């Protein structure tokens, strides 16, 4: 704990041990110049935002972190991440999709969901190394608000490479979401992943899914959300 020493000889609360859980910087108001005090912003308590309950997958809550969405088999990860893309486009944030696998989503399906394909950049990469390089360039540019990385192969990303992407994401407040194909009990891509959700089928209905939070470094909480989607055009 960093504490400014009191210049007065009189007893001060700073001379006593403080039972504070987190490190704090305590500064005596009288040591600051009046013009500096005038620049300190004052906010009413009623204007403070309350912490949202549960885990949100909105662009705002994902900004500046690395997230991972996993599924054991193809059962709705792309449909779920489409919600994040739509949220980004509603906020006029450019979106990039890094395809590190041989196949990619069917464009008419996303168009039917309302995605503006003209503002969705797609980068075809040849595997893990090229995908991470492309992701790093995109986030470093500051030109996009959301990067989706299709990492459904045998990825073994190092913490160093993910750490570089995370630092850039924090600086530009860009959201980076990795799509992986693995079981829920398998580890995430790395320690730099702040949020991980696993998608599974929910019940016997073909297009009902559930996303379960298995890792949340921000709140250390778990939750389960359900979604109902429709099949491709002509099937519903």
Domain count, the chain: 2
Is residue 54 a part of any domain in this protein?
Answer: no
Q: List helix spans (H) across 128-197.
A: 128-141, 159-172
Is residue 234 a part of any domain in this protein?
Answer: no
- Residues 124 and 195 both lie in one domain: yes
Q: Which helix (H) or strand (E) holds 122?
A: strand 120-124
Is residue 233 a part of any domain in this protein?
Answer: no
> What was the pLDDT predicted at 25?
38
CA 176, chain centre distance (Å): 6
Exposed (0-12), middle (13-18) or buried (19+): which is 47, by Cβ within 10 Å?
exposed
Q: What is the pLDDT along the chain (236 residues), one digit of tens a residue?
A: 333 333 444 444 344 444 444 343 344 444 555 555 455 555 455 444 444 445 578 999 999 999 999 887 666 788 889 999 999 999 999 999 999 877 788 888 889 889 999 999 999 988 889 999 999 999 999 999 999 999 877 777 888 999 999 999 999 999 999 999 888 788 888 889 999 988 876 666 656 667 778 888 877 665 656 554 555 554 44
Is residue 53 a part of any domain in this protein?
Answer: no
- Residues 27 and 136 both lie in one domain: no
Domain boundaries, position 16: 2-47
> Pairing between strand 193-201 and 208-216?
antiparallel
> What was the pLDDT predicted at 176?
97
167: which residues sit within 8 A by CB, 6+ positions away? none
- Residues 138 and 192 both lie in one domain: yes
177: which residues sit within 8 A by CB, 6+ positions away? 62, 67, 68, 69, 81, 84, 146, 147, 148, 149
State both tokens at 20. 């504070």
> Pairing between strand 208-216 and 120-124?
unpaired
Is residue 236 a part of any domain in this protein?
Answer: no
DSSP state of 119: G
> What was the pLDDT predicted at 55?
55
DSSP characters over 48-91: SPPPPSS---SHHHHTTSEEEEEESSSSSHHHHHHHHHHHHHHT
- Residues 42 and 86 both lie in one domain: no
pTM higher than the cut 0.75: no
- Residues 169 and 84 both lie in one domain: yes
- Residues 41 and 64 both lie in one domain: no
């Amino acid at each position: 704990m960093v504490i400014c020493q009191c210049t007065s000889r009189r007893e001060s609360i700073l001379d006593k041990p403080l039972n504070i859980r987190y490190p704090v910087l305590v500064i005596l108001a009288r040591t600051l110049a009046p013009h500096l005090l005038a620049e300190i912003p004052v906010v009413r308590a009623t204007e403070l935002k309350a912490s949202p309950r549960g885990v949100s997958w909105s662009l705002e809550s994902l900004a500046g972190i690395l997230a991972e969405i996993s599924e054991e088999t193809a059962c709705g990860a792309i449909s779920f991440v489409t919600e994040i893309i739509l949220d980004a486009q509603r906020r006029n944030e450019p979106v990039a999709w890094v395809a590190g696998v041989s196949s990619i989503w069917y464009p008419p399906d996303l168009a039917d969901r309302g995605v503006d394909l003209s503002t969705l950049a797609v980068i075809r990469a040849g595997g893990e190394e090229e995908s991470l390089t492309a992701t790093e360039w995109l986030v470093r540019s500051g030109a996009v608000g959301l990067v989706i990385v299709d990492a459904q192969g045998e990825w073994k990303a190092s913490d160093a490479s993910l750490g570089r992407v995370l630092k850039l994401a924090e600086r530009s407040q860009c959201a980076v979401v990795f799509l992986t194909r693995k079981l829920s009990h398998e580890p995430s891509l790395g320690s730099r992943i702040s949020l991980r959700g696993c998608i599974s089928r929910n019940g016997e209905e073909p297009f009902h899914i559930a996303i379960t939070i298995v890792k949340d470094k921000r709140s250390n909480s778990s939750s389960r959300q359900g979604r109902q989607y429709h099949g491709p055009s002509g099937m519903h």
